[in-house]
C-alpha cells in the first residue's frame, strides 16, 4: 500500500462518508441495549452552515461516535426548521424582484412558492453537515412542517386551549413594522442608541401656566391620554385633577396621579400613551384611559394622527418636533442615550402595538418546569446557567404565539361568521359546531416558529403518531448555544413535562460562540465570518473539528485563529505520516509479544497509552472536549511520535555497538554494521501497531475521516470500519505488568536530552560524531546504571550520533560541557577540538545564577517553617535544597576548569 507524504482530506472525506451512510452505521445498533440519543437543534432551511453550527455539530457528533464505539445504541436525530419569518422573507424578496407582493398572489399560491423554494434550497445545510462528517440518522430526518410535527402542534394547541392555557386577547404587543407582525419579547433585541430627550410644554386649560414633560418619543404625544405626576410631588399638587391642552392636537387631557412616576426623572411629570407604551398601558388600564392607537400595521401613522397620517414614525417625529418648535412648545432638547428595542429578525425598531393575538399562559408551565430542573431532572452544563434559567422562569411573561404570516403552522381555530361560535379542533372544521353554518373561517395567523420547536424532542421520536420510546426518552443530552436557552430549551422542558410527564433530556450542554480573531462576534455586517465549507476545503473537516473541540473550553467562547487551525491540519499530517512509517518499514508477521519481551521503552509507551485512555474517558464523561483533545494531541505527538517512534527508528537503523573495558571503565564504541535486531524489531512493531491502532480509535470521535482512512489499511483490525470497533479505555489491555519502568525511561530520556542540550548550547555541529562520558560519583551505582542503559545503548548512539560512551568515576580535567542528571550523575562532553569554549562558560554562569536564586528562595522558605508544617513537605524542601547545593558545587568546579 502506497501512501502519499501529505494527507489529502479532499480525496477521502466524501468517499468515506458515503460508505458510512450506505452501510447504515448512523442508525441505532439494535444489538446494544444501552440507549443514547441526541436530537439535533434543527437548523433553519434558510440557513447555511456557519462556524457556530460547526462547533455545535462537532460536539454532538463526537458524543454520538464515542457512545457508539462504547457499545451504546446511539442515535442522532436530525431535522430542519421551517423558520417562519426567515423563509417567508426570502420568498417575499424574490417576489419583490418581480414587483409582486404576497398579497397580490394570494395565500395559496404564495405557500406553493415557499414549498418550491424549500425543495430547491432548503437542504443546503444538510449537505454541508455531511461535509463535516455528522453521523446523523438521515432516515429519520424530520422537517417541522412534516405530518408528525403538524399533528403534534395541533394536539398541543387544542389541549392547552381546552385547559385554558391558550387564549386570545387584545394586548399591547411588540410589533415589527417591517414584518407587519407581532413578535415575542424574546425576539426583541435591546440596543443602546444615542438619541434626544425632548422637553415639551403642555399648557393648562387656562393657557397661562404649563407643565413640562420629557420624552424620547415625541410623536407618541398624538396618542397621549393623560399626564401623570407623583401624588406626593409638591411641585404639582396644585394641578391634581386639572386638565392640559395636548400640543398639536385640539384636545384636553387630564392630569392624573400615580406613584409609578419617578419624581426624580426628567421633570417629574410623565405623558401617558396607553396604546404605545407598555408602562403607560398598565397605568391607562388602572385609570380607565382609552387605548388610542395612531399606528398602522406597517408602522405608518393612521388616520387618528390627523395631519401626520401616512408618515413613518421617524418622519412623524421630525415633523412633530418641528411643529412644536414653531408653536414655541419645545422647552429644550437634551442629547440622551437609551435602550431601544429592535426586531431581531428584520432589524427594524419595534413599536408597542395594540392588537388581538394568541397567548400561552406560562405561569403554571414555568412553575412545573423550574421545579423539575431544580430537582436536577435536567442538568445544565456548565452549572451556572441554572441561575439564569431560574431567574427567567420566575419572571416569565405570557408567550405571544400568533404571527401575522402565512408560512407556518396555521392556528387550528375556526370562527362562525353567523353565530360567532369559536371551534378549536385538531381536524379541519367544515361547519359550525353550534349552528351548523358552513360560513366559517379559519384564523389567518400562524404560530411562532418556536411553538413547533418546543415539541421537537417528542415529534422527532414520532409523537403523537407513536408514543415515545421510553428507553430513548428523556434523550441523553441537548447541545446548544445559550442564546436560545429561553426561546427553545425552557419551552421544550415545559412542553415535555405537560405531554410526557417527564423532562425531554437529561443534560443540557451549553457551549460558547465562535468569535473572530479580535474577539468580535462573527456577523454579516462586519464581514468577519469564516465559511466552514471553505475551511474544510482548505484544511480538511478533521482539522476544523479538532480546532473547534480543542479550542472549546467549557462554556467559553472560541476565538477563531487560522494559525491554530493550521496546527490542527499539521497534526493530521503527523498522524498520517506515523502510519506511513509503519507501512513503509515493516513487512514481518505480527505476533503478540510476552510481557517480558517488551523493552522498557515499549512498556513506557503502553503505560502512557493506558493513562491517556483513562483520562480521555473521564474527560468525555465530563464534557471536557478540550482537555480530552489536548491530552490525545500531546500523547500522539510528544510521546508517541517524538519519542516512541523515534526510538523504534533507532532500533531499525542502529549500528552494532561493541562493549569493552578500558582502565576499569566500561566503554561502548560504535561499529559499522547495522544492527538487524529482528527480534527486538518484531516486538516493537507489534507495540507500534497496537498503540497506533488504539490511538486512532481514541481519536476517531473527534477526527473521523483520517482515522477511518488509516484504519482501513491497518494490519491489525477487528472490524470492517473503525466506527464499529470499540473505544479504548473501558475495555481490557494486553499489558498487565504493574512494575513501573518509568524512572528507568526517564533516566534514559534525561541522558538523551542532556546530550542534546549540551550539543545545542555549545553549537556542536549536528553532524559531528562525539564522545560522551557518564560520570558516577558513587561507584556502587555502577552496576545498576549499567544495567539500566545497557539495553538502550545502540538507541542512544543512533539518536545522538555518539562515537563512544564511557562510564567514568573521575571528571575529565580538560574543558568539557557538563550537565548534572542527578547530584551523583553527570553527562560530560569533552569540548577540545569541537567548539569555542566561551559558550559553555557562559552557559555555566547562567546556570549558577539560576541555581542560586532557587536555592535562596528555598532557604527562605525553610527557615520560616513553623511547627505546623507536615513532615512530608519539610523533607521535600530539604531534599530539594540539598540537591540544589550539590548542583551548585559541581557547576562551580566545572567553571573553575575553564578559568585555569
Partner RNA sequence: UGGGACAUAGCUCAGUUGGUUAGAGUGCUACCUUGACAUGGUAGAGGUCGGCGGUUCAAAUCCGCCUGUCCCAACCA
Residues of span 329-348 touching RNA by CB under 7 A: 338-339
Query: Residues 201-220 vs RNA: string with x where CB under 7 A?
Result: ------------xxxxx---
Q: Which residue has the cell 391558550?
A: 166
Residue 251 Cβ, how far from RNA at the closest point, in Å? 19
Complex with RNA: residue 185 or 597, whichever CB lies closer: 185
Residues 255-294 that bind RNA (CB under 7 A): 260-271, 277-279
Residues 38-67 that bind RNA (CB under 7 A): none
Pick one of 109, 162, 521, 889: the residue that binds RNA (CB under 7 A): 521
Residue 762 Cβ, how far from RNA at the closest point, in Å? 9
Residue 881 Cβ, how far from RNA at the closest point, in Å? 9
Give the rounded distance of the alpha carbon of 406 from its chain centre. Answer: 34
Complex with RNA: residue 110 or 635, whichever CB lies closer: 635
Determine the Cα–Cα distance for residues 325 and 332; give it in Å rounded to an integer. Answer: 9
Residues 359-388 that bind RNA (CB under 7 A): 384, 387-388
Contact between residue 412 and residue 423 where contact means Cβ atoms under 8 Å apart = no
327-356 exposure pattern, b = at least 16 Cβ within 10 A, e = fewer: eebbeeeeeeeeeebbbebbeebbbbbbbe
Residue 285 Cβ, how far from RNA at the closest point, in Å? 14
Residue 567 Cβ, how far from RNA at the closest point, in Å? 4
| Grid cell of 772 as nine digits | 560522551
Residue 651 Cβ, how far from RNA at the closest point, in Å? 11
Complex with RNA: residue 175 or 581, whichever CB lies closer: 581
The alpha carbons of the chain give a radius of gyration, in whole angstroms, of 38
Complex with RNA: residue 31 or 868, whichever CB lies closer: 868
Query: Residues 687-726 vs RNA: string with x where CB under 7 A?
Result: ----------------------------------------
Residues 523-552 that bind RNA (CB under 7 A): 551
Residues 216-245 that bind RNA (CB under 7 A): 216-217
Determine the Cα–Cα distance for residues 34 and 67; give it in Å rounded to an integer. Answer: 10
Pairing of strands 79-80, 142-143: parallel
Complex with RNA: residue 368 or 564, whichever CB lies closer: 564
Complex with RNA: residue 151 or 574, whichever CB lies closer: 574
Residue 637 Cβ, how far from RNA at the closest point, in Å? 6
Complex with RNA: residue 138 or 714, whichever CB lies closer: 714
Residue 556 Cβ, how far from RNA at the closest point, in Å? 6
Residue 632 Cβ, how far from RNA at the closest point, in Å? 12
Q: In what order do the strands lie in the sheet with 188-203?
A: 210-215, 188-203, 330-343
Residue 645 Cβ, how far from RNA at the closest point, in Å? 4
Complex with RNA: residue 191 or 466, whichever CB lies closer: 191
Query: Residues 836-875 vs RNA: string with x where CB under 7 A?
Result: ----------x---x---x--xx--x--xxx-xxx--x--
Q: In what order do the strands lie in the sheet with 440-442?
A: 422-424, 413-416, 440-442
User: Residue 302: CB partners within 8 Å, gap ≥ 6?
Assistant: 293, 294, 295, 296, 309
Complex with RNA: residue 45 or 246, whichever CB lies closer: 246
| Grid cell of 724 as nine digits | 464499529
Complex with RNA: residue 431 or 559, whichever CB lies closer: 559
What are φ and ψ of residue 822, in 5° steps? -150, 175
Residue 799 Cβ, how far from RNA at the closest point, in Å? 9
Complex with RNA: residue 104 or 869, whichever CB lies closer: 869
741-777 exposure pattern, b = at least 16 Cβ within 10 A, e = fewer: beebbebbebbbebbeebbebbebeeeeebebbbbbe
Complex with RNA: residue 318 or 756, whichever CB lies closer: 756
CA-closest candidate to residue 26, choices 170, 144, 159, 129:
129
Instruction: Determine whether 579 is exposed, middle or buried from the number of CB atoms within 10 Å of its CB (0-12, 13-18, 19+).
Output: buried
Residues 599-628 that bind RNA (CB under 7 A): 626-627
Pick one of 21, 146, 331, 557: the residue that binds RNA (CB under 7 A): 557
Complex with RNA: residue 185 or 781, whichever CB lies closer: 185
Distances (CA, A) of 886 to 195, 811, 851, 879: 73, 15, 10, 11
Residue 149 Cβ, how far from RNA at the closest point, in Å? 26
Residue 54 Cβ, how far from RNA at the closest point, in Å? 17
Residue 154 Cβ, how far from RNA at the closest point, in Å? 29
Contact between residue 553 and residue 717 where contact means Cβ atoms under 8 Å apart = no
Strand partners, 775: 808, 826
How many of the chain's residues bind RNA (CB under 7 A)? Answer: 98
Residues 425-484 that bind RNA (CB under 7 A): 482-483
Residue 564 Cβ, how far from RNA at the closest point, in Å? 6
164 counts as binding RNA under rule CB under 7 A: no
Determine the Cα–Cα distance for residues 9 and 571; give it in Å rounded to an integer. Answer: 13
Strand partners, 359: 167, 400
Residues 562-601 that bind RNA (CB under 7 A): 563-564, 566-567, 569-570, 572-574, 577-578, 580-581, 584-585
Bond into 839 cis (ω within 30): no
Residues 724-763 that bind RNA (CB under 7 A): 753, 756-757, 759-761, 763
| Grid cell of 645 as nine digits | 517512534
| Grid cell of 126 as nine digits | 444538510
Complex with RNA: residue 243 or 263, whichever CB lies closer: 263
Contact between residue 320 and residue 330 where contact means Cβ atoms under 8 Å apart = no
Determine the Cα–Cα distance for residues 214 and 114; give it in Å rounded to an integer. Answer: 47
Strand partners, 227: 255, 271
Determine the Cα–Cα distance for residues 58 and 80; give it in Å rounded to an integer. Answer: 17
Return the range that interacts with RNA (CB under 7 A); candidates 26-34, 318-326, 561-569, 778-786: 561-569
Complex with RNA: residue 94 or 638, whichever CB lies closer: 638
Complex with RNA: residue 35 or 486, whichever CB lies closer: 486
Full 3-state SS string of 5-74: CCCCHHHHHHHHHHHHHHCCCCCCCCCCCEEEEEECCCCECCCCCCHHHHHHHHHHHHHHHHHHHCCEEE
- How many Cα atoms occupy the beta-carbon half-sphere of 643 within 13 Å? 22
Residues 172-201 that bind RNA (CB under 7 A): 185-186, 190
Quickly count helices (H) and strands (E) in the chain: 27, 31
Strand partners, 333: 198
Pick one of 556, 660, 737, 893: the residue that binds RNA (CB under 7 A): 556
Complex with RNA: residue 782 or 888, whichever CB lies closer: 888
Residues 395-424 that bind RNA (CB under 7 A): 395
Pick one of 327, 561, 660, 822: the residue that binds RNA (CB under 7 A): 561
Residues 93-152 that bind RNA (CB under 7 A): none
Return the range that interacts with RNA (CB under 7 A); candidates 102-110, 321-329, 349-357, 557-565: 557-565
Amino acid at each position: 500500500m502506497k501512501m502519499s507524504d501529505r494527507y489529502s482530506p479532499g480525496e477521502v472525506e466524501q468517499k468515506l462518508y458515503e460508505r458510512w451512510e450506505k452501510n447504515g452505521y448512523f442508525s441505532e445498533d439494535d444489538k446494544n441495549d444501552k440507549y443514547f440519543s441526541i436530537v439535533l437543534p434543527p437548523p433553519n432551511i434558510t440557513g447555511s452552515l456557519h462556524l457556530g453550527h460547526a462547533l455545535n455539530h462537532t460536539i454532538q457528533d463526537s458524543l454520538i461516535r464515542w457512545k457508539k464505539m462504547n457499545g451504546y445504541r446511539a442515535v442522532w436525530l436530525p431535522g430542519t426548521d421551517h423558520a417562519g419569518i426567515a423563509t417567508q422573507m426570502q420568498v417575499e424578496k424574490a417576489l419583490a424582484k418581480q414587483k409582486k407582493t404576497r398579497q397580490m398572489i394570494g395565500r395559496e399560491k404564495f405557500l406553493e412558492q415557499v414549498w418550491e423554494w424549500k425543495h430547491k434550497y432548503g437542504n443546503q445545510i444538510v449537505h454541508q453537515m455531511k461535509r463535516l462528517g455528522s453521523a446523523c440518522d438521515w432516515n429519520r430526518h424530520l422537517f417541522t412542517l412534516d405530518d408528525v410535527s403538524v399533528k403534534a402542534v395541533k394536539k398541543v394547541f387544542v389541549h392547552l386551549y381546552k385547559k385554558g392555557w391558550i387564549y386570545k386577547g387584545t394586548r399591547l404587543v411588540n410589533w415589527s413594522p417591517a414584518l407587519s407582525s407581532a413578535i415575542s419579547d424574546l425576539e426583541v433585541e435591546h440596543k443602546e442608541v444615542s438619541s434626544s430627550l425632548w422637553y415639551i410644554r403642555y399648557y393648562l386649560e387656562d393657557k397661562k401656566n404649563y407643565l413640562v414633560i420629557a420624552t424620547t418619543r415625541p410623536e407618541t404625544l398624538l396618542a397621549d391620554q393623560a399626564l401623570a405626576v407623583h401624588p406626593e410631588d409638591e411641585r404639582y399638587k396644585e394641578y391634581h385633577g386639572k386638565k392640559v391642552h395636548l400640543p398639536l392636537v385640539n384636545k384636553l387631557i387630564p392630569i392624573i396621579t400615580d406613584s409609578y412616576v419617578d419624581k426624580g426623572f426628567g421633570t417629574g411629570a410623565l405623558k401617558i400613551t396607553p396604546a404605545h407604551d407598555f408602562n403607560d398601558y398598565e397605568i391607562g388600564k388602572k385609570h380607565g384611559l382609552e387605548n388610542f392607537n395612531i399606528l398602522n400595521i406597517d408602522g405608518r401613522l393612521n388616520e387618528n394622527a390627523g395631519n401626520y397620517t401616512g408618515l413613518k414614525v421617524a418622519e412623524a417625529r421630525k415633523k412633530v418636533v418641528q411643529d412644536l418648535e414653531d408653536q414655541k412648545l419645545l422647552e429644550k432638547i437634551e442629547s440622551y442615550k437609551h435602550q431601544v428595542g429592535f426586531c431581531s429578525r428584520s432589524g427594524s425598531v419595534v413599536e408597542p402595538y395594540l392588537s388581538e393575538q394568541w397567548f400561552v399562559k406560562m405561569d403554571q408551565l414555568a412553575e412545573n418546569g423550574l421545579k423539575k430542573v431544580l430537582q436536577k431532572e435536567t442538568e445544565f452544563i456548565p452549572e451556572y446557567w441554572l441561575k439564569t434559567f431560574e431567574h427567567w422562569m420566575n419572571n416569565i411573561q405570557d408567550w405571544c404565539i400568533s404571527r401575522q404570516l402565512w408560512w407556518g403552522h396555521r392556528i387550528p381555530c375556526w370562527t362562525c361568521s353567523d353565530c360567532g361560535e369559536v371551534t378549536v379542533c385538531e381536524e379541519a372544521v367544515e361547519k359550525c359546531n353550534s349552528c351548523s353554518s358552513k360560513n366559517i373561517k379559519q384564523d389567518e395567523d400562524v404560530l411562532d416558529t418556536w411553538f413547533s420547536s418546543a415539541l421537537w424532542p417528542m415529534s422527532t421520536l414520532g409523537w403523537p403518531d407513536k408514543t415515545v420510546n421510553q428507553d430513548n426518552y428523556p434523550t441523553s443530552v441537548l447541545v446548544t448555544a445559550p442564546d436560545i436557552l429561553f426561546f427553545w430549551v425552557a419551552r421544550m422542558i415545559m412542553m415535555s413535562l405537560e405531554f410526557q410527564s417527564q423532562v425531554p433530556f437529561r443534560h443540557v450542554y451549553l457551549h460558547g460562540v465562535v468569535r473572530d480573531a479580535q474577539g468580535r462576534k462573527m456577523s454579516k455586517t462586519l464581514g468577519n465570518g469564516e465559511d466552514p465549507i471553505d475551511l474544510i476545503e482548505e484544511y480538511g473537516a478533521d482539522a476544523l473539528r479538532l480546532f473547534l473541540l480543542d479550542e472549546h473550553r467549557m462554556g467559553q467562547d472560541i476565538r477563531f485563529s487560522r494559525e491554530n487551525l493550521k496546527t490542527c491540519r499539521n497534526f493530521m499530517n503527523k498522524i498520517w505520516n506515523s502510519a506511513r512509517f509503519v507501512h513503509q518499514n515493516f513487512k514481518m508477521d505480527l505476533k503478540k509479544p510476552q510481557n517480558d519481551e517488551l523493552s522498557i521503552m515499549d512498556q513506557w509507551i503502553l503505560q502512557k497509552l493506558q493513562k491517556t485512555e483513562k483520562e480521555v474517558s473521564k474527560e468525555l464523561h465530563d464534557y471536557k472536549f478540550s482537555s480530552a483533545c489536548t491530552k490525545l494531541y500531546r500523547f500522539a505527538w510528544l510521546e508517541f511520535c517524538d519519542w516512541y517512534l523515534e526510538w523504534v527508528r533507532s532500533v531499525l537503523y542502529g549500528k552494532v555497538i561493541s562493549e569493552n573495558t578500558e582502565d576499569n571503565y566500561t566503554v561502548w564504541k560504535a561499529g559499522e554494521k547495522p544492527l538487524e535486531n529482528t527480534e527486538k524489531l518484531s516486538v516493537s512493531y507489534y507495540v507500534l501497531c497496537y498503540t497506533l491502532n488504539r490511538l486512532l480509535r481514541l481519536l476517531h470521535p473527534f477526527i473521523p475521516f483520517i482515522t477511518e482512512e488509516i484504519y482501513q489499511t491497518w494490519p491489525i483490525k477487528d472490524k470492517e470500519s473503525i466506527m464499529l470497533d470499540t473505544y479504548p479505555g473501558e475495555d481490557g489491555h494486553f499489558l498487565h505488568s504493574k512494575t513501573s519502568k518509568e524512572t528507568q525511561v526517564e533516566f534514559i530520556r534525561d541522558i538523551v536530552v542532556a546530550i542534546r542540550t549540551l550539543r545545542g548550547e555549545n553549537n556542536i555541529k549536528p553532524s559531528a560524531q562525539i564522545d560522551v562520558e557518564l560520570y558516577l560519583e558513587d561507584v556502587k551505582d555502577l552496576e545498576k546504571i549499567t544495567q539500566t542503559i545497557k539495553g538502550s545503548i545502540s538507541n542512544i548512539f543512533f539518536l545522538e550520533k555518539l562515537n563512544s560512551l564511557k562510564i567514568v568515576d573521575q571528571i575529565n580535567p580538560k574543558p568539557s560541557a557538563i550537565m548534572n542528571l542527578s547530584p551523583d550523575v553527570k553527562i560530560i562532553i569533552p569540548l577540545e577540538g569541537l567548539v569555542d569554549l566561551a559558550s559553555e562558560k557562559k552557559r555555566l554562569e547562567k546556570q549558577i545564577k539560576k541555581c542560586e536564586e532557587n536555592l535562596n528562595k528555598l532557604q527562605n522558605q525553610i527557615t520560616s517553617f513553623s511547627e505546623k508544617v507536615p513532615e512530608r513537605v519539610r523533607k521535600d524542601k530539604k531534599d530539594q535544597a540539598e540537591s540544589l547545593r550539590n548542583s551548585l558545587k559541581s557547576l562551580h568546579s566545572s567553571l573553575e576548569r575553564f578559568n585555569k
